[in-house]
């Protein structure tokens, strides 16, 4: 049995708490936040505190607060030489105060308060500064997820950056599609199965192989018509840049096709 | 029972054929293509032909060929006053030769040869030039899909354009994420649950409400670090443009927050 104390009460903290609470191998000894209002519903399950000086002993302390607050909170911890990890994709383990042993438990997923997440599917990227702490952190991760990976800080930073592309930027493309369809009185809802299939497709196929459409085909007629239809200059710029990006990625394929054509002719 | 003839043997034609073949209300009378090689496996189920002059009578003729070939193929049809529809998102119904009655059956989905698609979930956008043909085309659509919508040509064009954003451009963002992670030796696979959840989230939530991340939070520190990490200039341009787009979309929210802050202070 691994005992943990969770510090913070945001979305990640809430989802971690629920996952740990459901696990047979973990006990949440205590849950800290400056303001314990949002944790009240869990009052009967776990000891809540808003006082750092009352933190009790546990195997692992998990700091799940906003990036900017990690360092300061870690300095205020009233103990030494215990394993303290944070859950951020972009903060260094060295941001945690050096009086404790340090590590990372980064869940690579988007969490919202309402949405239920199957935590067993969430990739957990773990790292510890000391080798001796690694096995225990791995065991903690594996008690809630089937997808625990050792990831160093450079790799974690690249995953965090890539996550902005596949999550935030992708979602903004959905938003633009919403604006485009609405402007013609068409239903955005009709795009939802396509959105799902686009995500499904790259579960088995590389994004390179999954690509289709006018940019990849270099279908100049359609591209021109689309650009004419877009009256929002920002949408036009995004259309041009993404089309150019696709064409650059698939340019070698064009060349090979051209080569074959030349050979055939 | 509605009888159809399919013209073309690409991905859309193949998926339509399978869907019609599985439906109790539709019989595929004949399947035409210039080259019937890829249709051979279906030789025992349906009459195949590569000769337009041998087309037999049916209620509806479905032209599922590339956009550029629709007009010419429709001119070559050796009959008049029958219902002929094409399956393109961007071609006008008037591109079909006027000797026949004309319409559209546009399945809004991405089809690849291998991937099995549950056709009952595919939105079918239908349109006919003559009112009297509408009911039959609707009946045909409903025999394979639970999501049949009347969509005029302007709306269909906007859906087709929006589909490029949510499918082709989104997939290119996945590709870029693949390049970013690979460059650091991190696994692209770790992003797959996030990719799925991003698509899942907007099934119930608007993309506006689903947005999170450094751009929306106006987290300048993270944005700056991300831009420094990107060494590919094209990726940098896309990061900047998408970040600006998110900030423009969510600017009113900033203002409201600022306003609240001012009121509080």
CA angle B232–B236–B239, rounded 5-degree value: 140
Q: What is the predicted pLDDT for the residue at A116?
A: 82
**Residues A90, A33: contact at Cβ < 8 Å?**
no
The pLDDT of residue B258 is 54
- The answer to whether residue B216 scores a pLDDT higher than 50 is yes
Separation CA A140–CA A1 (nearest Å): 9
List chain B residues with CB under 8 Å of A205: 112
Q: What are the domain boundaries of chain B? A: 2-151, 156-264
pLDDT bucket at B40, cuts 50 / 70 / 90: very high
Across chain A, the runs of DSSP E, i.e. the strands, are 2-7, 26-32, 48-49, 60-63, 83-86, 101-107, 124-128, 148-150
Find out whether A21 and A46 touch, Cβ atoms under 8 Å.
Answer: yes
Question: Which of B170, B238, B248 faces A241 most closely, judged by CB atoms?
Answer: B238
In this prediction, residue A185 carries a pLDDT of 95
Please say if the pLDDT value at position B224 is more than 90: yes
* B115-157 tens-digit pLDDT: 788 999 999 999 999 999 999 999 999 999 999 999 999 999 9
| Cα–Cα dist A122/A110, whole Å | 10
* B146 touches B118 (CB < 8 A): no
Distances (CA, A) of A125 to A112, A160, B128: 19, 11, 54
The least confident of A87-96, A160-169, B166-175, B253-262 is B253-262
- Name the residue among B110, B210, B214 with its Cβ closest to that of A194: B110
What's the pLDDT at A260? 53
Encode pLDDT of B79-108 as tens digits. 999 999 999 999 999 999 999 999 999 999
Name the residue with tokens 């067993």. Answer: A120
pLDDT at B98: 98
- Nearest residue on chain A to B222, alpha-carbon basis: A90
What strand order describes the sheet that includes B124-128? B47-49, B26-32, B2-7, B60-63, B83-86, B101-107, B124-128, B148-150
Q: Is B134 helix (H, G, I), strand (E, B) or coil?
A: helix
- Nearest residue to B126 via CA among B146, B103, B145, B144: B103
Q: Is A107 helix (H, G, I), strand (E, B) or coil?
A: strand
Superfamily for domain range A156-264: ProC-like, C-terminal domain (1.10.1040.20)
Report the residue of chain B nearest A89, measured CA to CA.
Answer: B222
Q: Would the pLDDT of B163 be above 70? A: yes
CATH code, residues A2-151: 3.40.50.720
The 3-state DSSP class for residue B123 equals: coil
How large is the angle between the packed helices B233-249 and A170-183, nearest 10 degrees? Answer: 50
pLDDT of residue A252: 61
Q: Is the predicted pLDDT of residue B259 greater than 60, yes or no?
A: no
- Listed in sequence order, the residues at least 6 apart from A191 whose beta carbon sits closer than 8 Å to its beta carbon are A174, A177, A181, B108, B159, B162, B163, B166
Residues of chain A neighbouring B249 (CB-CB closer than 8 A): 172, 175
Distance CA(B87)–CA(B107), nearest Å, equals 7
Contact criterion met (CB below 8 Å) for A2 and A60: yes
Interface test with B, best of A152, A175, A206, A216 (most B CBs within 10 A): A175
Which whole-number Å values give the CA distances from A62 to A12, A83, A128, A154, B128, in the listed order? 11, 9, 13, 21, 61
CB A95 within 8 A of CB A74: yes
**pLDDT value of residue A251:** 85
Which positions in chain B touch A119 (Cβ < 8 Å)? Answer: none
Count interface pairs A-B at CB distance under 8 A.
311
User: For chain A, which ranges sit under pLDDT 70?
Assistant: 252-265
């Amino acid at each position: 049995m691994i005992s943990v104390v969770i510090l913070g009460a945001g979305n990640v903290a809430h989802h971690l708490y629920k996952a740990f609470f459901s696990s047979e191998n973990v006990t949440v000894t205590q849950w800290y936040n400056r303001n314990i209002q949002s944790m009240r519903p869990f009052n009967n399950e776990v000891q809540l505190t808003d006082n750092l000086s009352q933190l009790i002993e546990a195997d692992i302390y998990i700091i799940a607060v906003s990036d900017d607050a990690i360092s300061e909170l870690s300095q205020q911890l009233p103990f030494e030489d215990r394993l303290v990890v944070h859950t951020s994709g972009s903060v260094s383990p060295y941001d945690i105060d050096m009086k404790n042993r340090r590590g990372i438990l980064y869940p690579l997923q988007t969490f919202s308060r309402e949405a239920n997440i199957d935590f067993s599917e969430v990739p957990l990227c773990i790292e510890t500064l000391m080798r001796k702490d690694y096995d225990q952190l791995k065991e903690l991760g594996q008690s809630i997820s089937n997808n625990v990976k050792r990831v160093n800080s450079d790799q974690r930073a690249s995953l965090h950056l890539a996550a902005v592309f596949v999550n935030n930027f992708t979602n903004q493309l959905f938003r633009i599609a919403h604006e485009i369809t609405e402007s013609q009185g068409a239903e955005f809802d009709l795009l939802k199965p396509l959105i799902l299939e686009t995500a499904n497709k790259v579960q088995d196929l590389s994004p390179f192989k999954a690509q289709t459409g006018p940019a990849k085909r270099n279908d100049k007629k359609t591209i021109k018509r689309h650009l004419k239809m877009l009256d929002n200059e920002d949408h036009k710029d995004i259309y041009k840049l993404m089309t150019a990006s696709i064409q650059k990625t698939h340019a070698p394929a064009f060349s090979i096709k051209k080569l074959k054509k030349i050979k055939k002719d």
